[in-house]
């Protein structure tokens, strides 16, 4: 009898060990320009996690416009974590009850492990001589940019232009509105997300300038088309802080909280920071920043909090239905 009990206990322990080591699926719902980064990151983290825990993880990625991705998760897409373009998109998921409202306190730097900014990608030699935000309002300049209603990058882009106008001598909301209105009158194609806009500009050959994440512009100019494009840094731009969070409802349901926490914490590790820098995101870690300093020119930036009073105010004033962007783009005064 004792042998039978011992054998049964051993079998249960073996089954538990096998279950712990069994492959499980894990979904990261992210925004457009992080595809290549998270493909490599998932391999690195997967090896680290297996060595640490013995668990195999089958990583899945979902990419698209950040706002559209947030709405998909809010509507029930079972993400373990979200790595989105801006905090307001995660707050939209919070309002659906799937992420704790204190999510920004869970990881360093308000749960923003790396930063970026907004730059211009132009044709080689910059034939239209586009150097700053005011040049985008000139007649005859064809602009490619995503739609602020569906993506994260275009909201950073819009606010960059608005903030630039505010910070000029005599700057005001009226002058900012005038500049931004002229800018969007020059938009040739309004794609749903940043990667779609890159395809329109770089592969389809449409437009004189792409308003872009820095990492997308550097990827295009240094990787996809070294002899085809130049990157232009405006005199001032915005400090973009893409945000990450555990989707608490899914993590608790699937028992993946420890894995999700480990996955996002690893973004702050030396290896995670170096991978971010390798893929043209600006790392928080000083050593990674120093190693990759040559690829990141110094740029004057401002924050959403200081200029617009935070994302909630900016969203309501500029991007809610019927707000300033809708008025501008529909041609209303």
pLDDT digits (tens, 9 = 90+) for 177-229: 999 999 999 999 999 888 899 999 999 999 999 999 999 999 888 766 678 99
| pLDDT at 22 exceeding the cut of 60 | no
Q: Which two tokens stand for residue 209?
A: 């300038």
| pLDDT at 19 exceeding the cut of 70 | no
- Which DSSP state fits 57? E
Contact predicate 249/257, CB 8 Å: no
End-to-end CA distance of the chain: 87
Sort strands 24-31 and 81-84 into parallel, antiparallel or unpaired: parallel
Q: How far apart are CA 304 and CA 152, in angstroms?
A: 13
**Mean pLDDT along residues 10-37:** 69
Q: How far apart are CA 176 and CA 282, in angstroms?
A: 28
Look over the chain and give the mean of its residue pLDDT values, rounded to a whole number.
91
Q: How confident is the model at residue 11 (pLDDT cuts 50, 70, 90)?
A: very low
For the entire predicted model, the pTM comes to: 0.88
Q: What is the pLDDT of residue 6?
A: 41
Q: What is the pLDDT of residue 15?
A: 36
Q: What is the pLDDT of residue 193?
A: 85
- pLDDT tens for 118-166 read 999 999 999 999 999 999 999 999 999 999 998 899 999 999 999 999 9
Residues whose CB is less than 8 angstroms from the CB of residue 167 and which lie 6 or more positions away in sequence, other chains included: 236, 302
| pLDDT at 20 exceeding the cut of 80 | no
> Helices (DSSP H) in 25-127: which residue ranges?
35-53, 66-74, 87-95, 108-111
- pLDDT tens for 43-100 read 999 999 999 999 999 999 999 989 999 999 999 999 999 999 999 999 999 999 999 9
| pLDDT at 332 exceeding the cut of 90 | no
Taking only Cα atoms into account, the Rg of the chain, rounded to an integer number of angstroms, comes to 22
Q: Which two tokens stand for residue 22?
A: 């069994």
């Amino acid at each position: 009898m004792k042998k039978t009990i011992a054998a049964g206990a051993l079998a249960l322990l073996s089954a538990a060990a096998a279950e712990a080591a069994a492959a499980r699926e894990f979904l990261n719902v992210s925004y457009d320009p992080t595809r290549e980064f998270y493909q490599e990151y998932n391999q690195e983290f997967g090896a680290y996690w297996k060595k640490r825990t013995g668990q195999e993880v089958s990583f899945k990625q979902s990419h698209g416009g950040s706002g559209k991705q947030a709405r998909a998760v809010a509507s029930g897409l079972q993400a373990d974590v979200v790595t989105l373009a801006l905090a307001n998109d995660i707050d939209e998921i919070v309002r659906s009850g799937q992420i704790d409202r204190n999510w920004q306190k869970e990881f360093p730097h308000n749960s923003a492990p790396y930063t970026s900014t907004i730059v211009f990608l132009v044709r080689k030699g910059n034939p239209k001589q586009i150097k700053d935000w005011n040049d985008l309002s000139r007649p005859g300049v064809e602009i490619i940019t995503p739609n602020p209603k569906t993506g994260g990058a275009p909201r950073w882009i819009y606010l960059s232009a608005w903030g630039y106008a505010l910070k000029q001598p005599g700057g005001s909301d009226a002058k900012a509105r005038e500049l931004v209105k002229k800018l969007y009158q020059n938009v040739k194609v309004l794609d749903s997300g940043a990667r779609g806009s890159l395809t329109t500009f770089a592969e389809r050959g449409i437009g004189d300038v792409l308003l872009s994440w820095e990492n997308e512009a550097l990827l295009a100019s240094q990787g996809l088309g070294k002899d085809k494009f130049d990157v232009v840094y405006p005199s001032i731009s915005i400090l973009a802080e893409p945000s990450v969070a555990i989707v608490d409802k899914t993590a608790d349901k699937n028992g993946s909280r420890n894995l999700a926490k480990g996955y996002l914490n690893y973004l702050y590790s030396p290896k995670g920071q170096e991978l971010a820098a390798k893929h043209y995101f600006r790392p928080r870690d000083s050593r990674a920043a120093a190693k990759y300093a040559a690829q990141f020119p110094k740029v004057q930036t401002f924050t959403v909090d200081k200029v617009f009073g935070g994302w909630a105010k900016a969203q309501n004033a500029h991007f809610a239905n019927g707000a300033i962007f809708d008025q501008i783009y529909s041609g209303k005064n």
